[in-house]
A and B are shown apart, each in its own frame.
Chain A
């Protein structure tokens, strides 16, 4: 049953992505509406699949790389759907939906190993730790997309060479604002998620810090966003530099999240393998 939902969700994400790419080329409201609805339908099916899988496993289905990436994709889609309602920046979808679709495809290609249910996963701490971090990462993904859009637009205005995208992309101020908004919500969430992880680790393994590669990379990522957070609030960083740092930060997120899972070993990967 889950498999069917996964396939429907992937198909919907594909339709949404194609729709949004067409929307990038042709500014028609109904194309946006269709694409958004496709993502919504995909999100619903995906959510159903995750719920079924979690019920089947007896804990939140995030314990192997495939499930984790799929869960992250789902959070990203949900975040975008809500952000679209709040911000009404349609063109953002043309950048977010391909990202979501790519993650979904990667997730389906990863070899999955069923991890036996242990008591470690049963705690509410794990749910909070994972959800808060994934939500933060989803916001950083939105910030990443806004940053890419910012750099594209800024380049055109600065170099006085205007391509097709100049007309389709919003103002620099708007993009920077979205970047800031994602950071201001995402960073506290990330901090809270990490703290929950440390707290839970110290109760399970009697030590909050075990030089696990994932922990090290997570801390590096946290520092990147901490710098961005500080510079934006205290010094008034904005624009190009802030955009580059948002891109840099999201790359670190990806390394922490995917690179470590797939390449290195540690206690996070202990159950991932």
Chain B
């Protein structure tokens, strides 16, 4: 009886030192999948390693032995001595729990930042590795493909990925709602705080081409300009830039506002009323709050942005609940498929037996009728095949249907007796399961 097991650790169960050690070790070996051959009791294996998680997903006939082997695999990478510290950080999921966990990971419900989209890509890359090393088989192939489609469903049916939950993201999202495209917009960074720099960096990553930097100390400004490949402007002339730039990020240590209502108001006509977006991250604030009253000017301070983030987090929690529901449903669907695995050896035995009979009878017939030409032989071949398939069709469908019932063993036994399958050799594992897909 094949069981699915997932063994691993993530950002919740293991401190970063252990995760990075493990991820590093596994990457050093190119990929742990190459060692598939060393673990005797594991049939299929899939390995995922990101900065927040390290996980092994595998199928085995002997759960305890399989787990022990995979753990041993981990330990050899970490040099044996780590054994004591590793165990408390590991989680092990089995069968449906493992399936559900894989679906949750793919749907980004188990991520540190719930809804972040990278994990699906990482999962796909890891899967590609597994197929390259031929370590995944029928069960894991099916499971992972299903995981990808669950992730897609969650993404299209919920809004889980569309809420900005950091200051930088919230600022960029707002800029998008004001300007639409932001790549042709100019950004002015006044002063230098960590958060403002982060926001500037994020804007550049999102395609903003032109960044101006202005700082009281020229040294710092040059520093920033170099880092962001930006132009510097003297601090005293920062206000003059207001007629050209579109987004102003401000975080100086000034005790008083550095941009007043009239500073902006007087420049709007010159700007021909093009929208101007101020992001004031400084405390105390750099920009007079009244600036927000000017037409086509939008001012957000740090509290406004935090407010958006708070709201978005609440929204995202709601979306995550809907996503969990989808995952649960899909897990149940997968269970149905898994259960057909149990009746499958019987189906294969049935097919093998009838195929054997067919072949034997054909040979007998052909040897008695040597004058038959090739076309006739082929026609007879096809005829016998289709008769066998048609006869077997209903019993096989019946068995697959009963596979979802608790009483399936009864039907399996009955079929075995009815067709006398007991003395028939059980099918070889890998090859036989391939036809289960239909």
**Which positions in A face B, CB cutoff 8 Å?**
153, 157-158, 160, 162, 166-167, 170-174, 235-241
Distance of B403 from chain A, by nearest CB (Å): 35
Across the interface, name the chain B residue whose C-beta is closest to A153: B177
**Which residues on B are within 8 Å of A, measured CB to CB?**
159, 162, 174, 176-181, 269, 271-275, 292, 295-296, 298, 300, 304, 307-308, 311
> Which residues of chain A are within 8 angstroms of B177 by Cβ–Cβ distance?
153, 157, 166, 171-172
Bound-state Cα–Cα, A174 to B181, Å = 9
The reply to whether A236 and B292 form a contact with Cβ atoms under 8 Å apart is: no
Contact (A237, B273) CB under 8 Å given A157-B178, A172-B178, A173-B179: yes
Name the distance in Å between A26's Cβ and chain B's nearest Cβ: 10
Chain A, Cβ-Cβ closest to B303: A160
Whole-angstrom distance between the alpha carbons of A240 and B180 in the complex?
A: 17
**In the complex with contacts A162-B311, A166-B177, A172-B275 CB distance below 8 A:** yes
A157-B298, A158-B292, A158-B298 are known contacts. Are A238 and B180 too (CB-CB below 8 A)?
no
With both chains docked as a complex, state the minimum distance between the C-beta of B34 and any C-beta of chain A, in angstroms: 43
Say whether A160 contacts B275, CB under 8 Å. no
> What 11 additional pairs, Cβ within 8 angstroms, besides A167-B162, A173-B181, A235-B269?
A157-B177, A158-B298, A160-B300, A167-B159, A172-B179, A173-B179, A173-B180, A236-B274, A239-B275, A239-B295, A239-B296
Complex CA gap A207/B248 in Å reads 59
Q: A160-B300, A167-B162, A170-B180 are in contact. Are A238 and B174 (CB under 8 A)?
A: no
Across the A-B interface, give the 4 residue pairs with the lowest CB-CB distance, nearest first: A236-B272, A171-B180, A173-B180, A239-B296
Most buried by A among B177, B178, B311: B177
The verdict on A171 contacting B176 (CB below 8 Å), with A162-B311, A239-B295 known, is yes
Chain B residue nearest to A172 (CB atoms) is: B178
Q: How far in angstroms is the closest Cβ of chain B from A38?
A: 23
Q: Is B180 a contact of A174 with CB atoms below 8 Å?
A: yes
In the complex, chain B residues whose CB is within 8 Å of the CB of A238: 272-274, 296
A171 touches B179 (CB 8 A): yes
Interface residue from A160, A170, A240 paired with B307 (Cβ < 8 Å): A160
Closest approach, in angstroms, between the C-beta of B280 and any C-beta of chain A? 13
A109 to chain B, nearest CB (A): 40
Distance in angstroms between the alpha carbons of A183 and B142 in the assembled complex: 56
Looking at chain A's contact residues, the main secondary structure is helix
Residue of B nearest to A160 (CB): B304
**In whole angstroms, what is the CA distance A158 to B292 when docked?**
7
- Which residue of A has the minimal Cβ distance to B271? A236
Pick from A167, A171, A174, A240: contact of B295, CB below 8 A. A240
Measured in the bound complex, the distance between the Cα atoms of B178 and A171 in whole Å is 5
Q: List 9 A-B contacts (CB under 8 A).
A: A171-B178, A172-B177, A172-B180, A173-B178, A173-B181, A174-B180, A236-B274, A238-B274, A240-B295
Alpha-carbon separation in the docked complex, A153 to B174 (Å): 11
Q: Looking at the assembled complex, report how far the CB atom of A85 sits from the nearest CB atom of chain B, in whole angstroms.
A: 19
Bound-state CA distance A114–B179 (Å) is 51
Which residues on the A side are within 8 Å of B176 (C-beta)? 171
A236 to B, closest residue via Cβ = B272
> Which residues of chain A are near B178, meaning CB under 8 Å?
157, 171-173
CB <8 Å contact, B273 and A236: yes
Distance A240 CA – B298 CA, assembled complex (angstroms): 13
Distance of A170 Cα from B176 Cα, bound (Å): 9
Question: What chain A residues lie within 8 Å of B174 (beta carbons)?
Answer: 157
The distance in angstroms between the C-alpha atoms of A162 and B178, with both chains bound, is 14
Bound together, the chains give a CA A176 to CA B93 distance in angstroms of 54
B268: nearest chain-A partner, CB-CB: A236
Q: How far, in angstroms, from A171 to B179 measured CA to CA in the complex?
A: 6
A174 surroundings in chain B (CB, below 8 A): 180
* Chain B residue contacts of A166, Cβ below 8 A: 177
**Chain A contacts of B179 at CB under 8 A?**
171-173
Taken together as a complex, chains A and B put the C-alpha atoms of A162 and B173 apart, in Å, by: 13
- Among the interface residues A162, A170, A237, A241, which one has the most CB atoms of the partner chain B within 10 A? A162
B-side contacts of A240, CB under 8 Å = 295-296
**Complex interface: chain B residues within 8 A of A162 (CB):** 308, 311
- Alpha-carbon gap, A238 to B159, bound state (A): 32
Closest-CB distance, A167 to chain B (whole angstroms): 7
Q: Nearest Cβ in chain A — how far from B308, in angstroms?
A: 7
Cα(A99)–Cα(B273), bound, Å: 31
User: In the complex, what distance in Å separates the CA atom of A54 from the CA atom of B308?
Assistant: 57
Task: Write out the residue numbers on chain A whose beta carbons fall within 8 Å of the beta carbon of B311.
Answer: 162
Q: Which residue of A lies closest to B305 (CB)?
A: A160
Closest to B163 in A: A167
A235–B295 Cα distance when bound, in Å, is: 14
B271: chain A residues within 8 A (beta carbon): 236
Q: How far, in angstroms, from A221 to B384 measured CA to CA in the complex?
A: 84
Complex alpha-carbon distance, A173 and B272, angstroms:
14
In the complex, what residue of chain A is closest to B304 when comparing beta carbons? A160
Measured between alpha carbons, how far is A239 from B269 in the docked complex, in Å? 13
- CB-CB nearest in chain A for B178: A172
Which residue of B has the minimal Cβ distance to A166? B177
CA distance A239 to B272 in the complex (A): 11
Q: What's the least CB distance linking A92 to chain B, in Å?
A: 15
| Candidate in B159, B178, B273 with the most chain A CB atoms within 10 angstroms | B273
CA A157 to CA B180, docked complex, whole Å: 14
The chain A residue with its CB closest to the CB of B293 is A158
Chain B residues near A153 (CB, 8 Å)? 177
Give A239 to B297 CA distance when docked, in angstroms: 10
Tell me which residues across on chain A come within 8 A of B181, comparing CB atoms: 173
CA distance A170 to B179 in the complex (A): 10
- Write the chain A residue with the least CB distance to B312: A162
Residue of A nearest to B175 (CB): A171
Give CA–CA (A173, B183) in the complex, Å: 14
Contact B275 A173 (CB under 8 A): yes
CA distance A104 to B179 in the complex (A): 36
Expressed in whole angstroms, the Cα–Cα distance for A166 and B298 within the complex equals 15
List B contacts of A160 (CB < 8 A). Answer: 300, 304, 307-308
A167 CA to B161 CA, complexed, in Å: 13
A241 CB contacts on chain B under 8 angstroms: 295
What is the bound-complex CA distance between A170 and B178, given in angstroms? Answer: 9
Q: In the docked arrangement, what's the CA distance between A239 and B273, Å? A: 8
**B220 smallest CB distance to A (angstroms):** 31
Bound-state Cα–Cα, A153 to B304, Å: 17
- Specify which chain B residues have a CB less than 8 angstroms from the CB of A157 in the assembled complex: 174, 177-178, 298
User: Shortest CB–CB separation between residue B166 and chain A, in angstroms?
Assistant: 17
